[in-house]
Amino acid sequence: MTRHIRHAAFFCALLLVALLVNATRIQVFEAPSYDDNIANRRTTIARYGQPRGDILVDGEPVTGSHDTGEHLRYERTYTNGPMYAPVTGFASQEYGTTLLEHSEDGVLAGTNPLLSPFALWNGVARDRYPGGDVVTTLRKAAQEAAYEGLDGRKGAVAAIEPTTGRILALVSAPSYDPSALSGNGSSVARSWSSLNKDGDKPMLNRAVRKTYPPGSTFKVLTAAAALDAGVVDDLDEKTDSPDPYTLPGTRTRLTNESEGCEDVPLRKAFEWSCNTVFARLGVKTGVKQMSSTATAFGFNDANLRIPFSVAESTFDTKVDKAQLALSSIGQYNTRATPLQMAMVAAAVANGGQVRTPYLVERTTRASGATVSTGGSGPIRQAMRPSTARLLKEMMVDVVREGTGTNAWIPGATVGGKTGTAQHGLGNSGTPYAWFVSWAKGDLDLEPKVAVAVVVEDADADRGEISGGGDAAPIARAVMEAVLKSPSGDGR
Amino acid sequence: MTKAGTTLVAADAPAPAVPLPRRRGIELALIVVAVLLSVYGYCAVGLARSGTVPPGAAGYGAGLGVLALVAHLAVRLRAPSADPLLLPIGVLLNGIGLVLIYRLDLETPGDRAAPTQLVWSTLGVALFIVVVLLLRDHRVLQRYSYVCVVAALALLTLPIFFPSVNGARIWIRIAGFSIQPGEFAKVLLAVFFAAYLAANRTALAYTGRRVFGSERLQLPTGRVLGPIVAIWLLSVGVLVLERDLGTSLLFFGLFVVLLYVATGRTGWIAVGLLLAAVGAVAVGELEPHVHGRVEDWQHPFASIEAGEGPNQLSQSLFAFAAGGPLGTGLGLGHSILIGFAAKSDFILATAGEELGLAGLSALFILYGLLVERGYRAGLALRDAFGRLLAVGLASIVALQVFVIAGGVTGLIPLTGMAMPFLAQGGSSVVTNWAIVALLIRLSDKARSRLGVPRAAAPADAKEATG
């Protein structure tokens, strides 16, 4: 019997060995594939198991993390959520992330290997580090001015610092509170579906993700191309412009909103926003020059990241003369994001140089040590400095005595251009009111701010809506806020 | 310890009856270690979860310590030569089980299982003490073998008259406590098998027809085989009716192991394996509940691929994988994702995730030691009943650990069963304490026999294998 007991014992030992070998298989050799299985909730739990890093404006966090004590522990909170939503986006446990929350997720969620003091090791260990912070280029005062200026009307504001490309304000209205989407559960699902059903599209970031026909504000660009190409040498020389202007090769007659546009010099045509003059100017400048200027300003670039992607602003390069004429006054297939038009104004203010706009000044570890810095995008010369100087003069005239007087700020030099863009089938839609401008304080050495404002549906009749009336006051408030607030050198 | 003991006896050969060292001091020291380890685990959970030592830590430690100490005193009093490893292993496994259940309770605030488990553990230790104190000689049990089998069958049949819970009719509910009578039946059946085989082993081994003229492959006569197969069929039939496949498998394994040990006939293994194969195929194909388990085992991620989310087995595998070699640390895993039965059948997944392969191996080795100590007692005993009983009880532990641990790690199809001492479930804890008590009694007998001079000692007992 002893021998058989030993055999049975040996059998039990075999069972034990089988268990140990199998446990090693599961826990060591096959573990990575189980860890990466999409149905394994542990990655999600780990992601929400620590407070998310914050997004900072003027040194103050505009985000936070709320400890729910639930399975997915930390939920995103937002201070002034609707105001900053076009910058932060949302970070939802159910619906993912957007905008800065999305493009800087590695830093905020603590998975970016650069957050580790020992980057190489962390890359191997796939550990999670305390979430880092994202310091934005925004100026709180400018953002507030833009948000309050739009006051819920459909539209958008983008403001940038011309000399650097820092984005100082980025507002879209109507907006939404991203904290409504932070958690999980039925209330979040309800918010999600109602936001998606809303006809006003509150989650659409109009400042960077929607393109509008730029209308008359595009004349800045047409003027720049014409001056650079030498089509016009003297701002005060009479142009040979008929009113109305028959589009080349067609019988369509283009007219003006204002009187006395016939043969007016460029300076006056700009001030009064004469369509006929600029349509003809665009045709005379030619597709090639117009296209290259537009591209230099940033049009037809689908790859702009600030760091989240920006919708492509378009200037059609395959057009006949009639289409070119319309394109040159910001109609036909010409479309631009508000951010793109702010870049146009900024280029004028900055001697013709276009700085790549950016929203993230730097990212830091939780300790404050810098992980990466922004603002290293390419610089392009969109027009000659002399052209920029002439355009500045003309834009200043618009604010001093033309359609943009609402943007005038005492103690500062302000240049601007209004626009009232028609759209819709047969131009039946309520026109978009545009205003693009820049400002330099009298004591400043450089221009401090360039702004683009678009208001989609100011509650007004078609005749009354205008860039000067609806959009210029908002631009003025934003510029004033930037000029008054301390400079951003401390960032 | 036995090896050291024999050496000592050999050195003192001239003295006729030097008693084997009783090692009660070692037992006490190991118990202290076991209690401290458990309290440490309890504190680790609290520190990981809330940064503070849980308020109940002192009470928990004191409770477990007092239980272990009283059990130790009982052993000192009535089984002074018993194997010093058995009791500490029981205390440590029970302590770790309580820690794991307490830890999982934190995830289910509305459903606290640890306090109930502590009550059952107390009952288990009480039963342990009663057995150690009252059962002076294991051979007494031999007399009650038929009482045992009747009681076992009654216990197995009882739940049929109660409503089924989660697809299995194995519980009865009395005064808020649910009891699994099948658990107790295990020990009773082991006693019966051991007694019956001890009495009839000669007949079973040496009479019967040869198959293919082979010496080894010899089938016993129907007259001897009849009663035992009848009993076995009955118990397995009851279990299949109750859909408790794990216990059914356990009984079958126990039956085959004991038959083999008693008779030494490989024919039994052949018959056993054949029966097992036929049974497994038949049940696996015909019974939808079991068929599903086999499917799950073959394709644990089928439900994920079908877009229905992970099933319990894949959640269990995720938990083990998340533990890796060293584990996440107590209180820091997410094995609660397994959902239903996380504290009972799947408790090992929590150990695997939070203690890692290292901790899991340690647990397996503890079970291995427990089984080995049982087998060692079996080898050292002289009477056939004692030997078979020790082997049977140790095999129950070994088979049960294999069936459930293999099930939750995807080695074999999953069958619901309690991990001895670790899993939530009162009947199981009480039964396991009874098993340890019987092993203590058996090893006491075995080791006090070893104390007699070498010449008188059984030839095969002194070279027990490890």
Question: How many Cβ atoms are within 10 Å of A239's Cβ, its own excluded?
Answer: 22
Look up residue A428 and give its two tokens. Answer: 């039946």
Residue A81 lies in a domain: no
Which residues span the domain enclosing A440?
Answer: 215-490
Query: What pLDDT score was predicted for residue B457?
Result: 42
What is the DSSP code (8-state) at residue A331? Answer: -
Query: What pLDDT score was predicted for residue B11?
Result: 45
**CA–CA distance, B35 with A127 (Å, rounded to integer):** 34
Look up residue A441 and give its two tokens. Answer: 């304080």
Stretch among A367-376, B175-184, B353-362 having the lowest mean pLDDT: B175-184
Residue A290 lies in a domain: yes
Tell me: pLDDT of A463 over 60. no
Query: Which 3 state secondary structure label does DSSP give A170?
Result: strand
* Helix B426-450 with B86-105: angle, nearest 10 deg: 160
Strand partners, B86: none
Residue A118 lies in a domain: no
Whether residues A19 and B364 touch (CB distance < 8 A) is answered with yes
Tell me: pLDDT of A216 over 50. yes
For residue A384, count CB atoms less than 10 angstroms from its CB and return exposed for 0-12, middle for 13-18, buried for 19 or more: middle
Of residues A457 and A389, more confidently modeled: A389
Query: What pLDDT score was predicted for residue A133?
Result: 94
Which residues in chain B have their CB less than 8 angstroms from residue A3's CB?
A: 264
Q: What is the mean pLDDT of residues A303-328?
A: 92
**CA–CA distance, B208 with B245 (Å, rounded to integer):** 32
Sorting pLDDT into bands at 50, 70 and 90, what band is B221? low
Whether residues B398 and A41 touch (CB distance < 8 A) is answered with no
Which of B261, B311, B315, B408 to mutate to test binding with chain A, by most A CBs within 10 Å of its CB? Answer: B261
pLDDT digits (tens, 9 = 90+) for B280-303: 777 777 777 778 888 888 888 888
Of residues A63 and A256, more confidently modeled: A63
Which residues of A make CB contacts under 8 Å with B? Answer: 1-9, 11-13, 15-16, 18-20, 22-24, 26-28, 30-35, 37-42, 45
Between the alpha carbon of residue A275 and those of residues A390, B342, B460, the distances in Å are: 20, 75, 114
Whether residues B321 and A35 touch (CB distance < 8 A) is answered with yes
pLDDT digits (tens, 9 = 90+) for A99-128: 999 999 999 998 888 887 765 554 444 567
Whether residues B411 and A39 touch (CB distance < 8 A) is answered with no
Q: Which residues are within 8 A (CB) of A221 and not within 5 positions of it... i.e. 6 or more apart?
A: A293, A294, A297, A344
Task: Give the residue carrying structure tokens 């016009």.
Answer: A232
Query: Which 3 state secondary structure label does DSSP give A95?
Result: coil
Which value, in Å, is the radius of gyration of the alpha carbons in chain A?
Answer: 28
Query: What pLDDT score was predicted for residue B306?
Result: 82
The residues of A annotated as belonging to the active site are 216
Tell me: pLDDT of B453 over 50. no
Contact A99, A202 (CB under 8 A): no
Q: Between β-strands A167-173 and A155-160, what pairing exists: parallel, antiparallel or unpaired?
A: antiparallel
Residue A443 lies in a domain: yes
Of B190, B185, B153, B94, nearest to B438 (Cα)?
Answer: B190
Task: Give the residue carrying structure tokens 């050495």.
Answer: A445
Tell me: pLDDT of B417 over 70. yes
Query: What pLDDT score was predicted for residue B128?
Result: 96
**CA–CA distance, A115 with B3 (Å, rounded to integer):** 57
Whether residues B368 and A5 touch (CB distance < 8 A) is answered with no
CATH code of the domain covering residue A406: 3.40.710.10
Which of A15, A21, A37, A126 to mutate to test binding with chain B, by most B CBs within 10 Å of its CB? Answer: A15
Whether residues B334 and A45 touch (CB distance < 8 A) is answered with yes
What is the pLDDT of chain B when averaged over all its residues? 83
Q: What is the mean pLDDT of residues B185-198?
A: 91
Q: What is the mean pLDDT of residues A302-317?
A: 93
Between the alpha carbon of residue A78 and those of residues A65, A75, A147, B76, B328, the distances in Å are: 8, 10, 16, 67, 32
How far A50 CA sits from the closest chain B CA (Å)? 13
ipTM surpassing 0.90, yes or no?
A: no
How far B243 CA sits from the closest chain A CA (Å)? 24
pLDDT digits (tens, 9 = 90+) for A282-296: 999 999 999 999 999
Question: Rounded to two decimals, what is the model's pTM?
Answer: 0.74
How far A69 CA sits from the closest chain B CA (Å)? 11
Of residues B457 and B89, more confidently modeled: B89
Residue A471 lies in a domain: yes
Query: What pLDDT score was predicted for residue A189?
Result: 93
Query: What pLDDT score was predicted for residue A122?
Result: 47
Tell me: pLDDT of A38 over 60. yes
Full DSSP string of B96-147: HHHHHHHHHHTT-TT---HHHHHHHHHHHHHHHHHHHHH---THHHHHTHHH
Q: In angstroms, how far is CA A467 from the centroid of its own chain?
A: 20
Tell me: pLDDT of A191 over 90. yes
How far A73 CA sits from the closest chain B CA (Å)? 13
Question: How many Cβ atoms are within 10 Å of B381's Cβ, its own excluded?
Answer: 25
Tell me: pLDDT of B463 over 50. no
Contact A459, A155 (CB under 8 A): no
- Nearest Cβ partner of B317 from A19, A26, A32? A26
Which residues in chain B have their CB less than 8 angstroms from residue A20's CB?
A: 361, 364
Query: What pLDDT score was predicted for residue A40?
Result: 87
How far B123 CA sits from the closest chain A CA (Å)? 29
Tell me: pLDDT of A64 over 60. yes
How far B319 CA sits from the closest chain A CA (Å)? 9
Whether residues B322 and A3 touch (CB distance < 8 A) is answered with no
Full DSSP string of A221-273: HHHHHHHHHTS---TTSPP---SSEEPTTS--EE--SSS--TT--HHHHHHHT
Q: In angstroms, how far is CA B139 from the centroid of its own chain?
A: 22
Full 3-state SS string of B303-367: HHHCCCCCCHHHHHHHHHHHHCCCCCCCCCCCHHHHCCCCCCCCHHHHHHHHHHHHHHHHHHHHH
Query: What pLDDT score was predicted for residue B212?
Result: 58
Which of B107, B320, B389 to mutate to test binding with chain A, by most A CBs within 10 Å of its CB? Answer: B320
List strand residue ranges (DSSP E) for A68-125, in order: 74-78, 91-92, 96-97
- Domain count for chain A, please give it: 1
Tell me: pLDDT of A487 over 50. yes
Residue A97 lies in a domain: no
Query: What pLDDT score was predicted for residue A426?
Result: 62
Residue in chain A lying closest to B256 (CA)? A8
Q: What angle do CA B137, B140, B143 make, to 5 degrees?
A: 165
What is the pLDDT of chain A when averaged over all its residues? 89
> Domain extents for chain B?
21-450
Which of B193, B259, B304, B334 to mutate to test binding with chain A, by most A CBs within 10 Å of its CB? Answer: B334
What is the DSSP code (8-state) at residue A490? Answer: G
Query: What pLDDT score was predicted for residue B176?
Result: 62
pLDDT digits (tens, 9 = 90+) for B61-104: 999 999 999 999 999 999 999 999 999 999 999 999 999 999 99
Query: What pLDDT score was predicted for residue A481?
Result: 95
Tell me: pLDDT of B10 over 50. no
Whether residues B317 and A20 touch (CB distance < 8 A) is answered with no
Sorting pLDDT into bands at 50, 70 and 90, what band is B218? low
Whether residues B301 and A31 touch (CB distance < 8 A) is answered with no
Which residues in chain A have their CB less than 8 angstroms from residue B387's CB?
A: 1, 5
Full DSSP string of A177-238: -GGGGSS-SHHHHHHHHHHHH-TT-TTS-TTTS--B--GGGGHHHHHHHHHHHTS---TTSP
Q: What is the mean pLDDT of residues A240-247?
A: 86
Task: Give the residue carrying structure tokens 């459909």.
Answer: A154
Inter-chain Cβ pairs, chain A and chain B, closer than 8 A: 129
Contact B456, B16 (CB under 8 A): no
